[in-house]
Every structure is written in C-alpha cells, then in structure tokens.
Amino acid sequence: MQQVNRVVLFTSSCLAMPTIDLLLQAKLLVAVVFVDDEAQHQQHELQQLHAQCEALNISLSSWNNNEQLIAQLDQWHASIAVSCFTARALDDELINFFHGQAYGLCCGLAKSHQWANSLYWQIRTLQNELPITLHRLNSNENTALQPVAIHPFDTYQSLSLRVASVLAPALVNVMTKLSTITWQPLNEKNDASDTAKPITREDITLSFKNHSANDFVAAAKAGNPLYGGFILVTKLGEFNVLQASTIEQNGFIEPAGTILTINKSAGLVVQTKQGAVALDIISSQFGCISGYRFASLANVSAGMQL
C-alpha cells in the first residue's frame, strides 16, 4: 500500500493561503502550524490567517514549545513538514522528527525564513527574475520550482502576492510526486548574504547627495508598503517616499538636491547624485500626497535646495 503524504505547513503569513487551499484540495494537508514573530505587521497577518484556517476547519497549532508540538505532530501522523513564508527557521529537533522529509520554500538564494528580506533585495538590486527552490532542510539538496518574473513596476507587495500565487501549484505538484523528484546539490559558490541580509534603517535611508535616481526608484518599490518606501533626508527634515520615477535630462546638470521642476504634470523633480528623479508620492506631516502638493504645502520652489 502506498504511503500517504501527510503535510504540515509551517507559516507566519497570509501569503501561504493559496498553498494551504491547494494542499487541502489535493488531500495532502493535515494541519497548519503558526510560527510567531514579534514584528507587528507579521502578528496582524497571523491573526488573519488564523481566522481563515478556522473557517476552513483546518487543524491549527502554534510553535511555542517543541515537546508539545511534537506530541501534536505525532497525533496528526504528520510525515512531511513544509516551511512556507516563516518568520524564523525550524530547529533541528523539529526537522529530525520528519526523518528527512522537512522542506523549506526559498526565494532567491535566501534560506526559507529569510523570504521577506530576499524579496526586498531582489527589487532593490533591480533583478529581472526571482528564482524559487525547495530545500530539503538540514541537507545540501534542493530542487528548482517555477521562477517568478519581476515586472519593472513591481513593489514589494505586488511581487509577494505573485510569488504566493506561483508557489502554490508548484509546491503541490512536488508534494504529489515527491518520490520521483530529482534533488540537486546546493551550489556552495552562491553567496546569499547580500540577497537575504536584514534590512536596517541605514538601508532604507537615502539622500540626493549619496544616491542616484535609479536608487530612489528601486528603494521606493522595494519598501512599498512594508517600510513606507524609503526615508529621504532633506534640508526640510526626513520624510518617506513611496513612489519615484526617473526623468530624462538634457543640458546642464545642477548640484545634487536642487529642485529642477515643480508642476502638475511632472510633479516635484529633483537632481540626485546621478540623474533627475520625480518624487511621485510622499508621506510626511502633511499626509500621503503627491510630490507637487508636497512642494506647495512645504513652500519650496524650483532652484531651491531640498
């Protein structure tokens, strides 16, 4: 008699919901385990995901204590673990419970619990594609899943939603054919440090003097909405930019920080270290408004230093 795969999904995010739905339809899912995170935005998602799983009558548990959770896993007769959009890594005790059948979904070169950082840096560094792999945890083996194209207009949020949509059928396909999957050794030459490093305040703080127009555009997309775009340091103080666009330049280049244009069509256009940028959407003490309206309320004009 063929052994039935009984999958327990470990997650911290609502992005796992498409995967949960398809695993449930394929009669592979036995339970979901919530992996807590102290970050406020993750806690909110966790509450939403909890409500959705309860509505689908899915067995729920939380990873607070290994002994209690392992006893619960044993009662469920769980045979496979999948770590999907988790806030932290599964530890060795939990992984060993599954006897080589614990897997983690990885975005880019990052580890499975670093997915949020990886999505941010893929957009921030202007990558065209996000590779997705399924890693056999505590081993050096993985298998490639369907990569996700990164659109020039993608924000962190839009890319996250598309990754969730693409991952769900790809993962279910692997789970139904697990015994026939060809596992490949991890490429030890690949260095994931830059593609999964934690995002610091310094990373999301930009200035006209030190960053280019392309830097502004990429940072706004990568940080929207999770980090409020990016923090812009100006002579008026700091404020957040959620959307920016590069502007073609002809003729003389002004010093970085010089306001080049303010009008309804172009908005608020400023010279950067390299290239001109339109600050399309700004969040400040005036609210979340267009660059043009911000310039009017801040009483700045073309030729001034911002």
- CATH 3.10.25.10 domain position(s) in the chain: 205-298
Query: What is the model's pTM?
Result: 0.92
Write phi, then psi, for 118 (nearest 5 degrees).
Answer: -65, -45
Which CATH number describes the domain made up of 205-298?
Answer: 3.10.25.10
Helix (H) or strand (E) segment spanning residue 34 = strand 29-34
Write phi, then psi, for 281 (nearest 5 degrees).
Answer: -130, 125
- Quickly count helices (H) and strands (E) in the chain: 9, 17
Q: pLDDT tens track of the chain, all 306 residues?
A: 345 689 999 999 999 999 999 999 999 999 999 998 766 556 777 788 889 999 999 998 989 899 999 999 999 999 999 999 998 899 999 999 999 999 999 988 777 778 889 999 999 999 999 999 999 999 989 999 989 999 999 999 999 999 999 999 999 999 999 989 989 997 655 555 567 788 999 999 999 999 999 999 999 999 999 899 999 999 999 999 999 999 998 877 899 999 999 999 999 999 999 999 999 999 999 999 999 999 999 999 999 999
Pairing of strands 230-234, 287-290: unpaired
Which CATH number describes the domain made up of 7-196?
Answer: 3.40.50.170
- CATH 3.40.50.170 domain position(s) in the chain: 7-196
Name the CA radius of gyration of the chain, rounded. 23
Pairing of strands 259-263, 267-271: antiparallel
What's the CA gap between 7 and 134, in Å, rounded? 15
